[in-house]
Structure 1
Amino acid sequence: MKRITASAVLFLLAALPVGAVVYKWTDEEGGVHFSDNPHPGAKRLDLEQPPAVSLPPVEEAPSTAPQTSLVTKGYAQFGIAQPQAEATVRNNPGTVIVRFRIEPELRDGDRIRVSLDGQPVDAAALSGAAVELHEIVRGTHTLGAVIEDAMGGVVARADPVTFYMHRPSVNIPANKPPRLP
């Protein structure tokens, strides 16, 4: 017979009505038992009123819907459209395509600068609405993006997006990248 843990006993006791009587006994094999019915050799446990606990109000969880922030200087919308927040990217070589929502289109002289896990991505200065990142290691990552003007000033900033990179293990021979000669 399985033994009952202390937390399971407390849970069972808490489920009983206040003022209920519980009986506890130990069998020949050392197993401890609880019941609301008397048993030969059982000890009677009288349950008292538990103390009242006041919990603080529960705060609403923040929405995971994509948002746009710090939109100024002529951009009505700027955000990361792909990958979506909390998405799992499955790609064996670790490639992530990042797409943006930009309204109106990117102006001449402006460019998008991308950061991955708080570090700027060198190849991510671009003038289009998408960028491809390579050899991203498996795990949790956070993408950030800003639009910079020709002088390097931040014109708009997208809310960061957290995503999960899934790559097969490189320890499996079939998944190892080929060696260059």
Structure 2
Amino acid sequence: MIRILPVVIFFMSIGASAQVFKWVDADGRTHFSDRREPDAQAIGLKLPKPVAGDPTVSPTAAAPKPGPYSAFEILSPETNKTLRQPEDTVAVSLLLDPPLMDGHKIELVLDDVAIPVEKSAGTQLNLQGISFGSHRAYAQIRDPQGAVIAGTPIVIFHLRKPIPPGVLP
């Protein structure tokens, strides 16, 4: 049964429109495939719904909005960019036009944790203590009452240690 589990997990990752077939061979082993075999039966798989921590789910992912600003986005790091560096610091560069209006505050959301940005930092930030691995980030602007009035699209980036010379990635 344990040998079958990876096969089942593999087929669970296939799109909802895919058909999966199950059959038992002459030796009593159960098989799964996307091709119909003799005596195979079609099985239905229920795919899990996305969860809140899923990088594809976010309040700003579906509808990024610049709000009262003509432009608001994360310029750096670029989406799907792999940063190979020895330190755990990531430089974040925002595009904001016009400049931040009075009473408005920027916050950067990194892996679902909001990080307030000091007005003196402007649109160039250095985040320290970022773990190596994949991260998702977006920025938002809050009005004086704390309501989100602008948001950027999500940027997913990967922070990795440098590859030593002579080693293939």
Could you say which TM-score interval applies, normalised by the shorter chain?
A: 0.5 to 0.7
Using CA pairs below 8 Å that are at least 6 residues apart, which structure has the higher relative contact order? 2
Q: 1:135 to 1:168 in 2, by over 3 A?
A: farther
* Greater C-alpha radius of gyration: 1
- The CA deviation string for residues 107-166 of structure 1, in whole angstroms up to 9 with x for no partner, is 122121011111223xx4222112211111111100111011222111100011000001
- Quote the residue 1:126 is aligned against: 118
Q: 1:78 aligns with which of 48, 57, 72?
A: 72
Q: Residue 135 of structure 1 is aligned with which of 129, 132, 136?
A: 129
TM-superposed CA distance for 1:81, in Å, is 0.6
Report deviation, 1:69.
2.1
* Residue in 2 that maps onto 1:161: 155
Q: 1:80, 1:100 within 8 Å by CA — same for their partners in 2? A: yes
1:99–1:131 Cα contact (<8 Å) kept: yes
| Structure 1 counterpart of 2:64, from 59, 69, 73 | 69
C-alpha deviation, 1:168, in angstroms: 5.2
| Contact 1:69–1:78 (CA under 8 A) maintained in structure 2 | no
For 1:149 and 1:167, locate their aligned partners in 2 and report how far apart those are by CA, in whole Å.
Answer: 38
Partners of 1:163 and 1:146 in 2: how far apart?
18
Distance in 2 between residues matched to 1:131 and 1:164, nearest whole Å: 17
**Aligned partners of 2:84, 2:129: CA distance in 1, in Å?**
12
Shift of 1:79: 0.6
- Paired residues in the alignment total 100
Q: Which of 145, 148, 165 in structure 1 is aligned with 2:142? A: 148
Q: Is 1:140–1:162's contact at 8 Å kept on the other side of the alignment?
A: yes
Q: Could you say which residue in structure 1 is the equivalent of 2:94?
A: 100
Task: For residue 91 of structure 1, report the CA deviation from its aligned partner.
Answer: 2.6
* Residue matched to 2:38: none
